[in-house]
Structure 1
């Protein structure tokens, strides 16, 4: 639902883009879309002219022309040709990220029309089993301690995004600046428009005995359109749906589905394996082991392992995996997982890169969504931490003080992989979009709809709502009106208040609730954020529906007013309560309260 909301915001501004320029000098660099390594001697042409050049040893090119041109094209052997639209100006920088057509193939094997495949006495199966047999030798977690730095960037975008730059007025003209923020897909080379970005810089600490692993998050940054969505839902998407993949496990849980790993115990029965080629990977000659599910509709992967020639430890230097197109995978059209490893002298494997790209059709007839998780691992070491207290924390992720307040200098120092212009400029793009009244009020309406509260100010210090309880009906009160709200952390990160007043037009009685709460922890938005450690005083006079417990909705939610039978099991309820709550990071909760409660009769009770 949240992703469908993101698409709905921008779908109205999706039209073809066409721009042209003249009297320009065009410069840039041509790179590999996944490794970002420069591609030397690639051909770069200005379409519509006879001007072109080859890139140098560093993948750089320069073309100067006085002729009119409408697009620029880059091509190189082993890569898909890519064409980008022209830009306006006298000095233009256009970089290319070319998608490999040699390694990252959707069709992983060519075979005869009638294939006789057997795993018995198959050298490819024996090769895979040798990898599996030696997997523990290279596992860094076999050591007493293991630590590394982790930088993770997750991007959500509209895939194959087109914009009508020829419009002179109206909707397209108001958003003409959008073309400045268009990037390209690392999977297909098509244009994409980023709509949400999440960056995380952390340190991962592992201890073998007693076994424990914690991620100490030093910086966390979110920008784009997901800031008005439910943050817990977005966190679930980022950390569950886009979770890391470990092929050395028997099962791989991803996209909320379970896949059989190509290194599983049952892999020889589930997959077909082929020794297909010997190719260089980062200047290292590697054996290419291709695998494909025996049943193309089953939950497995198609892909390749790359193992250095003659390596007795069967170290996997690179992994490339796709999901078959025939499986039914929750709106997923395409997915790529690419991982790179380095080997220490003692045979230990260290993951250095982990790249996941997903293309999904959330709503039929609407543009595809593009999601990418790009993770880089550095600073690997096996030192024992001086302070072991982090392993006593209940949560797997521990957040540093001020984790959400890191400045641009922090991110420049901790961003260990190149960030595209559109990703890095997303905050500026959203700011310009919000300057257009149509978008500003549309986003306001969507935010109110998804959260149930009306914000006041930016940032909001007081939220009005919940809107779903503004009016309702019941047997005792008849038609009921309610008005209320709550303070936010923008007013105070520790002191909070919430309350409401309501009146029934049948019983002619005023109801109310008032709450004051002190949090012993600073909050980002509201007092109910996990973990709660607070002292709360509540004074309430309202209706009580006996025998009913409302945990997900308020009892006066407007959508619960329609019932097949009258509910007369109701009383008037007076409560005075002082409550202490301590939620621990391991989800264990302690509560203590002093409460005075009084039930008053209605004409039915």
Structure 2
């Protein structure tokens, strides 16, 4: 009896304990990816539930999921609006990967009979989706970082740029025989296709501090790692700046979002209901707080707008918790084959939300069809987010918004391994080493040498490079056929000393022209790299069109040799110059100059000092000048080429101020004078109406001066449309000693053409411009009122071709079509005033080559 009692108790004990062990053993880990069965694209935020438990979750922005299950559950159910629900069997107690392909709910029917009226048109009125988006818009101010007094966070950025969608045939070409180690394979469902060849990678880690009053955002870059190419071929800093401009941070709460140099209207912009259609497509009750899935699409598929999904919290914040943004394949966006942006938000301690991760992928190609192209992917992760914790004022000291710590580029691999929010994939980790290896291969160096010659115009010979090649041959009416040969030293010779020279010969005037300069870098950096800090001494003897800046590279350009009308009046110039240039990290710069300048008329140009006699002509004007130039371009980014710097135009203004003083009796100077010039350049973004570039400029000359020393206004007698010149004004047509001008250039980005059925597929873009110049001459400088003033020039028929602006402003305007073949802009230009001047045209056709996205 006792034994039986013990046995019964033991059995009861086992019955109680064993289920507990079974429960512990039945930990089931399941992960995978949910995709569209037909397109193979991932499905973000698809819902899944453990059958029989009522518990579940959602996939992330990349369509991935993972869950750990306790118990004997054997099924996971996956669902998404517009797709058939799918049930997957799982094996309890095992770690397993289950990828899910959801089928579209479209059904095949043998016959369809439709009766009844038409589908009612989409309307904003009484539309619950529009009412919801208006609540999101109304709550934007409290859901932005700017609503807090203080915010601090750490930001990790990773940029990867690759040749993409490469075929096996392309990969196995003979030219890539030595480069097979560079190619990577990725999931063929992702943007960019299967085969990829990375060409650039950068990682950046920064501490960021925001203060509301006075408002300031300070970024301190503590680590920066990127692929570094040979500087003879590629400007690494400029390349990084270019990608930063193309792939800017995405703020869903901004009215406009910058993507590949274009502004696309945000789906929660103040005016979004007027341009987007909104639909409530799902309610996600498995999340806390509950989410509403809000789908949106452009009213016009050609406009610069997004389409995608927003997931809005229903906790009273009406905040965006997740967002998936893409664009219609027919959008008026050049070279972009596909675009995806995924945003994830996390909840703060005050139950509001901040951006925690963003991922932007853009696939570029010459055509929308398949084929080799380029794919850029930028991932940004935010962590250590702190709100309303006061930050010491010392953090914000200094005018620069961006500070890079001295050892940012020297961080060890161990540092990066410890500080990356997510470990790099095996293939991505190899990019730095692979590209370093690539640059040591002789065949790659030869290829880059050829590419640099073609695009930059210079042939590298180590310590010296020859070029630019587009200036080797040109022609004009004074010099006739002109040959030129020149070059400059490189950093391979010295990072301190630079020399540049050229020699040219005109076969019509039989004269040699030449240039020689020596530059000393004061910051031990290339004089072509930002920020510049150098001293330069130079001498130049060359021709120049009066009123045009002496930019010998531009004037020697073969394509600019073709001009309209009479243009046989030029100057021979001797320039002795000493210049000091100093740029600062905050993009303020100043330069000081000392110049001795001799001007001699050439062609049919002459200098006549008085109207009283024909024998008062002079052969030369000599001046000595000192000058101060101030420039401020906040937040400016640019790509630094071999010869010039190309700004990446943004919304921030650029200010210029210049003062020049003529010194009579110093180094042979013949005149005392003062010249003041100021300008402001600004781009205004007008959302769906494109953007407007505005330049306002003014100048004032003090002193009695001959007209070659006054302000000779920028004219253009080529057939190219020039943004900063007057395209129907003749050379030397107008001079002033005081003037003010405005230049307005409007690009509508296809806003009107996109809505015209026969034109919309051509993806043309409308452009307009207007230019006005108001100025005049004081009596002392106007030969019409002072016979002792230097006389204006007359042509061979005795007609005066140089004039003062004494009958109102000079005005011209244009309308045109841009984006022709994606690279060409053609304008019909109309001149509105001073039409009675000799040899002027009231209208003309001008063209400009410009690559736009």
How far the C-alpha of 1:375 sits from its partner, in A, is: 0.9
Q: In the TM superposition, what whole-angstrom CA distance separates every residue of 1:331-363 from its partner, at most 9, and x where no partner exists?
A: 323211111111112133221101111223225
In structure 1, the partner of 2:399 is 393
2:186 partner SS: strand
Counterpart Cα distance in 2 of 1:434 and 1:113: 64
Counterpart Cα distance in 2 of 1:240 and 1:56: 50
Consecutive unaligned residues of structure 2, counting only runs of 5 or more, are 1-30, 35-41, 43-60, 69-74, 76-88, 106-116, 607-853
Q: Does the aligned pair in 1 maintain the 2:569–2:602 contact within 8 Å?
A: no
The answer to whether the aligner puts 1:286 opposite 2:291 as a matched pair is: yes
Equivalent runs, 1:35-114 vs 2, <5 Å: 39=66, 76-77=99-100, 114=119
Q: Does the aligned pair in 2 maintain the 1:39–1:58 contact within 8 Å?
A: no
Q: 1:196 aligns with which of 200, 209, 229?
A: 200
Q: Does the aligned pair in 1 maintain the 2:303–2:332 contact within 8 Å?
A: no
Q: 2:361 aligns with which of 353, 357, 360?
A: 357
Taking a change above 3 Å as real, the CA distance of residues 538 and 57 of structure 1, as seen in their structure-2 partners, is: farther
2:447 partner SS: helix
In structure 1, the partner of 2:376 is 371
Consecutive unaligned residues of structure 1, counting only runs of 5 or more, are 1-28, 43-52, 62-74, 81-100, 103-111
Q: Does the aligned pair in 2 maintain the 1:203–1:216 contact within 8 Å?
A: yes
How far the C-alpha of 1:182 sits from its partner, in A, is: 3.0
Taking a change above 3 Å as real, the CA distance of residues 331 and 176 of structure 1, as seen in their structure-2 partners, is: closer
Counterpart Cα distance in 2 of 1:129 and 1:418: 40
Counterpart Cα distance in 2 of 1:521 and 1:56: 66
Counterpart Cα distance in 2 of 1:543 and 1:501: 12
1:463 partner SS: strand
How far the C-alpha of 1:371 sits from its partner, in A, is: 1.9
> What TM-score comes out, normalization by structure 1 length?
0.72
Q: Does the aligned pair in 1 maintain the 2:161–2:200 contact within 8 Å?
A: yes
Q: Does the aligned pair in 2 maintain the 1:131–1:314 contact within 8 Å?
A: yes
Counterpart Cα distance in 2 of 1:508 and 1:129: 74
Equivalent runs, 1:114-129 vs 2, <5 Å: 114=119, 117-129=122-134
How far the C-alpha of 1:319 sits from its partner, in A, is: 1.1
In structure 2, the partner of 1:48 is none
Q: 1:465 aligns with which of 464, 467, 487?
A: 467
How far the C-alpha of 1:473 sits from its partner, in A, is: 4.1
In structure 2, the partner of 1:499 is 501
2:317 partner SS: coil
The answer to whether the aligner puts 1:215 opposite 2:238 as a matched pair is: no
Q: In the TM superposition, what whole-angstrom CA distance separates every residue of 1:308-333 from its partner, at most 9, and x where no partner exists?
A: 5x523233221112212332222323
Counterpart Cα distance in 1 of 2:356 and 2:93: 25
How far the C-alpha of 1:376 sits from its partner, in A, is: 0.9
Taking a change above 3 Å as real, the CA distance of residues 384 and 467 of structure 1, as seen in their structure-2 partners, is: farther
Counterpart Cα distance in 2 of 1:440 and 1:201: 31
Counterpart Cα distance in 1 of 2:484 and 2:91: 68
Taking a change above 3 Å as real, the CA distance of residues 221 and 545 of structure 1, as seen in their structure-2 partners, is: farther
Q: 2:487 aligns with which of 485, 488, 491?
A: 485
Taking a change above 3 Å as real, the CA distance of residues 220 and 113 of structure 1, as seen in their structure-2 partners, is: farther
Counterpart Cα distance in 1 of 2:153 and 2:348: 14
Counterpart Cα distance in 2 of 1:376 and 1:487: 42
Larger Rg: 2
How far the C-alpha of 1:210 sits from its partner, in A, is: 1.6
Counterpart Cα distance in 2 of 1:471 and 1:549: 20
Q: Does the aligned pair in 2 maintain the 1:196–1:226 contact within 8 Å?
A: no
Counterpart Cα distance in 1 of 2:513 and 2:410: 41
Q: Does the aligned pair in 1 maintain the 2:161–2:376 contact within 8 Å?
A: yes
Which structure is higher in RCO with an 8 Å CA cutoff and minimum separation 6? Answer: 1
Q: Does the aligned pair in 1 maintain the 2:544–2:550 contact within 8 Å?
A: no
Counterpart Cα distance in 1 of 2:429 and 2:92: 27
Q: 2:141 aligns with which of 136, 141, 145?
A: 136
How far the C-alpha of 1:184 sits from its partner, in A, is: 3.8
Taking a change above 3 Å as real, the CA distance of residues 541 and 360 of structure 1, as seen in their structure-2 partners, is: closer
Counterpart Cα distance in 2 of 1:467 and 1:221: 34
